[in-house]
Structure 1
Amino acid sequence: MLRHTPYKTLQTPAEHAATDPALGLLPVWKLSDLYPSREAPEFKADMERAGTLCRDFEAKWKGRLADAAVKTGKEGLGQALTDYETLEDLLGRIGSFAGLTYFSDTSNPANGKFYGDVQSKLTDLSAHLLFFALELNRIDDAVVDAAMERDPQAGHYRPWIVDLRKDKPYQLEDKIEQLFLEKSMTSAAAFNRLFDETMAELRFEVDGEKLPLEITLNMLQEPEEPVRRKAAEALSKTFQQNIRVFTLITNTLAKDKEISDRWRGFKDIADSRHLANRVERDVVDALAAAVRDAYPRLSHRYYAMKAKWLGMEQMNFWDRNAPLPETPKALISWPDAKETVLSAYAGFAPEMADIARRFFDEEWIDAPVRSGKAPGAFAHPTVPSAHPYVLVNYMGKPRDVMTLAHELGHGVHQVLAGEQGALMAQTPLTLAETASVFGEMLTFRALLDKTKDKRERKAMLAQKVEDMINTVVRQIAFYEFERKLHTARKEGELTSEQIGELWLSVQEESLGPAIRISEGYETWWTYIPHFIHSPFYVYAYAFGDCLVNSLYAVYQNAEPGFQAKYFELLKAGGTKHHSELLAPFGLDATDPSFWSRGLSMIEGLIDELEALDKA
């Protein structure tokens, strides 16, 4: 594994790195597309310009939006919205650069200071813009509707305004909103950063070698059981040694959220997330109930089969993602991974592959595992005036190829949705996983179709089933854990042991009797970043997977014009509700059978595995 790479080196387009020669050259993203460096005149000029524009915007429009709503042209509401969008793009570019710099190496104190200073400055600047949404929502609906009809410039932003109005019941008085915004830097944002930096610094000792989180977690996919066990023991030991910090972070953020929800008047602990996702609570409740009901047919059944394949009566929790004996052991090189994903995308639509290829050709991907680099994977959209970036930690496993396909799906979605502009490009989380999971499915199906060997086919199917269980069953279990935790936190601070008990209760229920939950696993809630950064985000994965399963079934039935309708869905960004986007495909997430249909595809793959096993 590479040692720390200096920040300026990360900017060099020709700079590549690899953890294993068999992987080939792994790309490092070119952040100079945003700014040449943090000391660059362009970055400093934009910081200065942002301050001037934010203050000028406040001086021009604050207290005048009601008047602007009855005017057109440079004094009209449409111009105010256009000016606001320009500022959002500029501030987003600055924030994206600081964030991606930080995630390149969270252990570098200079990166941490840079990120913290920029976040603080952006928060100060955002305080000048805070009035805009609040004041706009206080204008009578009929007046705003008339303005959008009268002024095409204002009418362009209708989807954003309609979305904004949904926040009206939960708005607070301006001064309180400003206090919430400014205090976020010393409350939620501070504890988020503490979590990230603590996690980046953790080391897990395996056979005398101290390893970072990403590599240690990856060892849980090794073929040899002793390797998996040692990795699990190292993870449990280090999590336990740092449990007080993670317990404090979790308690603080849960309380912070409870205070915010109480002041805003949200009834349910997840309602603020549902509102942000523009999805109804009963739709999410139906999804969660359908998945819980399916536990015995999905995870319980599959893990019982896997235990038998591995020659065990019961698997230990560290065996859950162990490869089957049939799994090919050779590492997949980066060029092969690239070709696999791009060819699968091209088989669906050449335009999709063309967009994805730009991520490789124009160095928008950061692939090597590095000390201090953010763990996991993500696609960051930045802003429409720039382009997305993808982070993966590539180690040559088949799952890494699927992760690449997943994140590139996000990237393609973000490029297409960017046409909507800074205010309307962002897709609600419930649909944000659509392109990523669809990209994974395309890649999996392309590989499966090429595989004729029965043993390899079994290994591929098993891995796909596990990935789907991780995406659907595991994420709904995470959602149920969060619900239990945030509910219990209302009654008082929780001890590490109490949080561990809540964690084990949902894990035992979702994994089933074929998995032995032994000592040490009670601390594994500590490393899940979604609990910290985005409470209740996790159900979006299950939503996206079930949705894509239904969407893929439509595609398999050769629905005429499917690709064109699919691209229209992606291009819509945040301009349409999920009901509008799914209607052209004959799908309806409010229909109780919708979720059963999505889950039945996972069940069908398990049936196929069972049939292969008996053949």
Structure 2
Amino acid sequence: MTESQSATDTKQATGAENVRWDLADLYAGPDDPAIETDFEATLAQAQAFQEKYRGRIAAGEITPAEFLAAVEEIEQIYIAAHKAAMYADLVFSVDTAEPAHGALLQRTHEQTTQVQNALLFFDVEWRQADDNFAEGILAHPPLARYAHSLAHERVFAPHTLTEAEEKLDAEKRLTGIGAFQRLFDERTSRLRQTVTVDGERREMNETEILALLYHGDRGVRRRAQIAMTKALQGDAHILTFIFNVMAQEKAIEDRLRDFPDPMSSRNLANEVDDATAHAMLDAVTTRYDIVADYYTLKRRMLGYRKLYDYDRYAPVFPPPEGGVDFAEAKALVLDAYRAFSPEVGDLAGEFFEKQWIDAAVLPSKRGGAFCQPCMPHLHPFVFLSYTGNQRDVMTLAHELGHGIHARLAREQSYLEFSTSLVVAELASTFGEMLTFHLLMERTTDPRVRLSLLAQKIEDAFATVFRQAAMHQFEYGLHTRRRSEGELTAETIGEIWIEQQSAMFGNSVEMTDNYRHWWAYIPHFIHVPFYVYAYPFGELLSLSLYHAYQEQGAAFVEQYRGMLAAGGSESQAQLMQRASINTADPAFWHGGLDIIHDMVQEAKALAKV
């Protein structure tokens, strides 16, 4: 998942106008009667499952063979239940303004909750089962393909409520935080402002406005920043309230489930211990000098007396006329993946050939980019708004990395298919590295090489340092909401600007407008404490790419095995394959040294 995308001229043809996904492998359309009939059949299966197994795990009255049959049965019910919800999410994401899509989204989520509540007893009983009984179950050889997910499920036992309480929590989410998440998506996707570009006044949405921050004209960038700020200020009351609701909802959830820290539940889900997470974050925040060093260089390259927040992504040299056509981006990314591995390249090619990508810029399309991995027996879908900038090429490579990861993991069971967030960002950032290095290999012009290197450095900053600063903001938001009560937009803005300023030091001046720019970022609302997965994954990726450069073809099979494992191993187990110890601060500093060296290379090329 990526936060935003970019372009210099969002009205110019990019070749992506008709790149739309085909969701027919899920359902024929939003009004497909199969959606309702599938739900009715799935709910009946879930209720029958409940009647057959409820109480038997808690009482220890089930044999390992019977338990295996139960796991296989519940897995198939989960697959059927989640199919319609995934479809509704995808339909809604490309047109959030269509009432029928919103209604479908709500209906399928309500139906999925009904099914999950019928099955809830299974997780509760398994988590709280006697240790000796559970060990006997896990020792059954045919259960090996579910062993990791079953063992991991039990670590949540101290944080699990009663079955009745868990059902109530799931039901209330539909009109609680789930409703506010949808409201956030609908409000931000409808943000509109008029911006003057090349003498023409244009009404633009969030994606198009943010794209202008990469424009070569400083005046356009400044106007885009003002427009985005006005859009956020216009919805400040609603967005501030949503953020407060989200933070308080998480505080209540953590209290009821006995999580000591706002970050603890995410660490547990990610299979990352607190010490490892803090080792990574501490390493990143102590190397903010790398950011200041680069932006001081960039200010000199641009010839500015001061660099402001809206100058961060300014091109160091004028970008090529017309941007990058989607067909050109496709060819480059596929070449990069195929050079690494023909198999991986073929997997990437399927997304284009079989219409698994939606890349058109649409008026009510939600912002950002993502890959929906779906499930092993189906295939992923990639979502982005391709606006023709070089950064969008990297977004395409990034999201295809997620998709390739899912395709390689398809031999896993559904319960072992999905990875933790910190592992999920590995394949995506590795794909960006492959694409970047291919671009550099094909480029001899020193100015173009410097421009590409500057962009890669800024992408690395956005993934490592910016996301770490956003994590620090998020942590501050949650802790202060718990200690001070409801926070004003001004207070949230102070927390935001404090952490952003810490990252840039004196190299970039944060304007007052930038105090509002926390308000549009969906990760904070949808998946609290997601963002630290980005620096985790990027620094892993940098280290693994360095290993690939040293080992060549021998590395490819090792890397493939890591991705094919899906969620069947923890991040620590996966990293052991590459002799990486993520609990060691020195490892993280090694990745940061690679970014530092890139900045030094840019300084040598710039000669300013």
Corresponding residue for residue 41 of structure 1: 33
Distance 2:271 2:162 in 1: 23
Equivalent AA in structure 2 for residue 111 of structure 1: H
Distance 1:306 1:289 in 2: 26
Matched, 1:587 2:580: yes
How many pairs does the alignment contain?
A: 594
Matched, 1:270 2:263: yes
Corresponding residue for residue 461 of structure 1: 453
Q: Which residue of 126, 135, 148 corresponds with 1:145?
A: 135
CA-CA distance at 1:434 after TM superposition: 0.7
CA contact (8 A) 2:279 2:584 kept: no
CA-CA distance at 1:405 after TM superposition: 0.3
CA contact (8 A) 2:215 2:314 kept: yes
Equivalent AA in structure 2 for residue 592 of structure 1: P
Q: Which residue of 411, 420, 426 corresponds with 2:418?
A: 426
CA-CA distance at 1:183 after TM superposition: 0.6
Q: Comparing both chains, which one has the higher relative contact order based on Cα–Cα distances under 8 Å and sequence gaps of 6 or more?
A: 2
3-state DSSP of counterpart to 2:286: helix
Q: How does 1:107-146 map to 2 (within 5 A)?
A: 107-146=97-136
CA-CA distance at 1:309 after TM superposition: 0.9
3-state DSSP of counterpart to 1:581: helix
Distance 1:51 1:38 in 2: 20
Equivalent AA in structure 2 for residue 155 of structure 1: A
Q: Per-residue displacement from partner, 1:222-262 (whole Å, max 9, x unpaired)?
A: 10011111110011111112110011000011000000001
CA-CA distance at 1:41 after TM superposition: 3.4
Corresponding residue for residue 3 of structure 2: none
3-state DSSP of counterpart to 1:156: helix
Matched, 1:79 2:72: no
Q: Per-residue displacement from partner, 1:168-210 (whole Å, max 9, x unpaired)?
A: 1111121111111111111110110010001111112213432
Matched, 1:230 2:230: no
Corresponding residue for residue 5 of structure 2: none
CA-CA distance at 1:341 after TM superposition: 0.4
3-state DSSP of counterpart to 2:294: helix
Q: Which residue of 71, 93, 108 corresponds with 2:83?
A: 93
CA-CA distance at 1:69 after TM superposition: 6.1
CA contact (8 A) 2:466 2:503 kept: yes
Distance 1:181 1:527 in 2: 26
Give the % identical residues: 38
Q: Per-residue displacement from partner, 1:451-497 (whole Å, max 9, x unpaired)?
A: 10100000000000000000000000000001111000012110111
3-state DSSP of counterpart to 2:371: strand
Corresponding residue for residue 189 of structure 1: 178
CA contact (8 A) 2:127 2:157 kept: yes
Distance 1:561 1:613 in 2: 36
Corresponding residue for residue 153 of structure 2: 164
Corresponding residue for residue 478 of structure 2: 486
Equivalent AA in structure 1 for residue 381 of structure 2: Y
3-state DSSP of counterpart to 1:64: coil
CA-CA distance at 1:45 after TM superposition: 2.2
CA contact (8 A) 1:394 1:400 kept: yes
3-state DSSP of counterpart to 2:139: helix
Q: Which residue of 485, 494, 498 corresponds with 1:501?
A: 494
Distance 2:524 2:14 in 1: 35
Distance 2:229 2:416 in 1: 43
Equivalent AA in structure 2 for residue 117 of structure 1: R
Q: Which residue of 309, 317, 326 corresponds with 2:309?
A: 317
Distance 2:553 2:400 in 1: 25
CA-CA distance at 1:373 after TM superposition: 0.9
Relative to structure 1, the CA distance from residue 130 to residue 19 in structure 2 (aligned partners, 3 Å threshold; closer, same or farther) is farther
CA contact (8 A) 1:25 1:334 kept: no
Moved over 6 A (4+): none
3-state DSSP of counterpart to 2:382: strand
Corresponding residue for residue 330 of structure 1: 322
Equivalent AA in structure 1 for residue 305 of structure 2: E
RMSD: 1.5
Equivalent AA in structure 2 for residue 144 of structure 1: A
Distance 1:24 1:525 in 2: 29
Q: Per-residue displacement from partner, 1:394-415 (whole Å, max 9, x unpaired)?
A: 0111000000000000000011
Gaps of 5+ in 2: 1-9
Corresponding residue for residue 177 of structure 1: 166
Distance 1:383 1:217 in 2: 32
3-state DSSP of counterpart to 1:205: strand
Distance 1:24 1:577 in 2: 37
Corresponding residue for residue 605 of structure 2: 612
Corresponding residue for residue 345 of structure 2: 353
3-state DSSP of counterpart to 1:283: helix
CA-CA distance at 1:153 after TM superposition: 3.4
Q: Which residue of 501, 513, 532 corresponds with 2:506?
A: 513
CA-CA distance at 1:334 after TM superposition: 1.2
Corresponding residue for residue 532 of structure 2: 539
CA contact (8 A) 1:69 1:143 kept: no
Q: Per-residue displacement from partner, 1:73-92 (whole Å, max 9, x unpaired)?
A: 4xx10011001111111112
CA contact (8 A) 1:78 1:155 kept: no
Corresponding residue for residue 13 of structure 1: none
Distance 1:155 1:563 in 2: 26
Distance 2:80 2:195 in 1: 45
Q: Which residue of 259, 271, 280 corresponds with 1:287?
A: 280
CA contact (8 A) 1:26 1:334 kept: no
Distance 1:26 1:117 in 2: 29
Distance 2:495 2:17 in 1: 43
Corresponding residue for residue 4 of structure 2: none
TM-score (norm. length: structure 2): 0.95
Distance 1:414 1:68 in 2: 35
Relative to structure 1, the CA distance from residue 354 to residue 277 in structure 2 (aligned partners, 3 Å threshold; closer, same or farther) is same
CA-CA distance at 1:505 after TM superposition: 0.4
CA contact (8 A) 2:56 2:62 kept: no
Distance 2:586 2:50 in 1: 49
Distance 1:36 1:391 in 2: 19
CA contact (8 A) 1:202 1:213 kept: yes
Equivalent AA in structure 2 for residue 252 of structure 1: V
